[in-house]
Structure 1
Amino acid sequence: MAECELGELSKKASSPSFIFKAPRELRRVNESAFEPQIISIGPYHPGKPHLEAMESQKLHYLDSTRQQPEGLELYIDVYMSIEQFVWDSYAEHDLKKRDEFGAIIVLDGLFVVQLFRKVMDPKLREENDALFKQNLNLSIVAEDLLLLEKSTSFSKEALIFFSETEPRQIGMLYEDDLIPMLYKEEIIIRNDEHLLGLVHDNWIPRQPQPKSAPFHIIETSGLEETNSQTSLSKKRQQAEGNRKKSPVRKVKRRVPRLVIRSATELSERGIKFRKISECCLFNIQFKRGILYIPTLIVDHDTDRMFRNLIAYEQFKHDISIVMDYAKFLDCLINYANDVALLCDCGVIENRQGSNEDVAKMINKLNEYVYLCTENFHYSPIFIEVNRHCGRQLTLWTVKLRQKYFNVPWSWVLASISAATLLLILSFLQTIFSALSYFNQSAR
Structure 2
Amino acid sequence: MESVSNIGWAKMEEQSGWAKMEEQSEFVIDIVRSLEKLEPPVSNDCCIYRVPHNLREAMNENAYTPHAVSIGPLHHGRKELEIMEKQKLRYLGEFIRHIRFDFDHAVWIIKDMEDSICYAETIPLDSNEFVKMILTDAAFIIIHFVKCKSISNQQDEFLYRNSCLLSSICRDLMLLENQLPLFVLEKLYQYYLYVSQGLDPAAVSSFQELTCNFFEDVFYRNKLIPEHFPENVNHFTDLLRSFHLPSNFSPPSTQRNKLLYSASQLYEAGVTIKARSRECLLGCEFISNNAELQIPPLELNNLTTCLLQNLMALELCHYPGKTYICDYISLMGYLMETSKDVDFLVQKKILDNGLGDSNEVVTFVKKLGTHIAVDRRFNCFTSLFSGLNRHCEDHWLRQTTWQKWLTIIKVMAENTQS
Q: Shorter-chain-normalised TM-score: which range?
A: 0.7 to 0.9
Alpha-carbon separation, structure 2, partners of 1:53 and 1:126 = 20
Give the equivalent residue in structure 2 for 1:305: 307
2: CA distance, partners of 1:161 / 1:65: 11
Of residues 77, 99, 118, the one that matches 2:147 is 118
| Distance in 2 of aligned mates of 1:113 and 1:44 | 20
**Equivalent-residue separation in structure 1 for 2:222 and 2:365 (angstroms):** 18
Give the corresponding residue for 2:111. Answer: 80
Which residue matches 1:364?
367
Alignment of 1:48-67 (within 5 A): 48-67=78-97
Q: What is the aligned partner in structure 2 of residue 344 from structure 1?
A: 347
Q: When you count helix as a share of all residues, which structure comes out higher?
A: 2
DSSP 3-state at the match of 1:286: strand
1:335 aligns with 2:364: no
- CA deviations on 1:234-291 (whole Å, 9 max, x unpaired) are 439xx9xxxxxxxxxxxxx9x3422321112222322231111131121111123221
CA distance in 2, matches of 1:347, 1:175: 20
Deviation at 1:180, TM superposition (A): 5.0
Aligned length: 343
Q: TM-score, normalised by structure 2?
A: 0.75
1:385 deviates by 1.0
Q: Distance in 2 between matches of 1:313 and 1:78?
A: 30
Distance 1:37 1:397, change over 3 A: farther
TM-score, length basis structure 1: 0.71
Structure-2 separation of matches of 1:120 and 1:330: 38
Output the amino acid matched with 2:298: L
Q: Does residue 245 of structure 2 align to residue 172 of structure 1? A: no
For 1:383 and 1:161, the matched residues in 2 are separated by 52
Between stretches 354-363 and 386-395, larger displacement belongs to 386-395
> Residue 251 of structure 2 corresponds to which residue in structure 1?
235
Structure 1 residue 48 displacement after superposition = 2.1
What residue identity is the alignment partner of 2:301?
D
Residue 44 of structure 1: how far off its partner (Å):
0.4
| Structure with higher RCO (Cα < 8 A, 6+ apart) | 2
Q: Where do residues 198-213 of structure 1 align in structure 2 (5 Å cutoff)?
A: 198-206=239-247, 208=248
Unaligned runs of 5+ in 2: 1-41, 194-203, 405-418
Q: 1:140 aligns with which of 155, 168, 177?
A: 168
* Structure 2 counterpart SS, 1:317: coil
Tell me if 1:279 matches 2:320: no
Answer yes or no: is the 8 Å Cα contact 2:220–2:279 preserved in 1: no
Give the secondary structure class of the aligned counterpart of 1:67: helix
State how far apart, in whole Å, the 2-side matches of 1:318 and 1:137 are.
37
The letter of the residue matching 1:294 is P
Residues 14 and 328 (structure 1 numbering): CA distance in 2 closer, same or farther, change over 3 Å?
A: closer
In 2 relative to 1, CA 203–312 (structure 1 residues): closer, same or farther, beyond 3 Å?
same
Q: Distance in 2 between matches of 1:117 and 1:335?
A: 45
Cα distance in 1, alignment partners of residues 172 and 403 from structure 2: 50
The structural deviation recorded for 1:192 is 5.9
Q: Structure 1 pair 160/340, CA: closer, same or farther in 2 (3 Å)?
A: farther
Q: Deviations over 1:132-168 (max 9, x none)?
A: 1112211210111110010112335424553563323
Q: Is the 8 A contact 1:388 1:394 kept in 2?
A: no
Matched, 1:378 2:418: no
Unaligned runs of 5+ in 1: 1-12, 209-231, 240-252, 401-443
TM-superposed CA distance for 1:90, in Å, is 0.8
SS at match of 2:274: strand
Give the Cα–Cα distance (whole angstroms) in 2 for the partners of residues 182 and 42 of structure 1.
31
CA distance in 1, matches of 2:271, 2:224: 31
Contact 1:36/1:147, CA 8 A, preserved across alignment: yes
**In 1: Cα distance, 2:358 partner to 2:214 partner:** 29
| Distance (Å, rounded) in 1 between the aligned partners of 2:133 and 2:263 | 48
CA contact (8 A) 1:182 1:199 kept: no
Shift of 1:15: 6.0
How far apart are 1:16 and its partner, in Å? 1.9
Query: What is the CA-CA distance between 1:21 and the residue it aligns to?
Result: 0.6
Q: Which residue of 1 aligns with 2:291?
A: 289
1:363-409, Cα deviation, whole Å (9 max, x unpaired): 11223323333321111111111111112344449999xxxxxxxxx
| Distance in 2 (alpha carbons) for counterparts of 1:297 and 1:397 | 41
Q: Distance in 1 between matches of 2:68 and 2:401?
A: 56
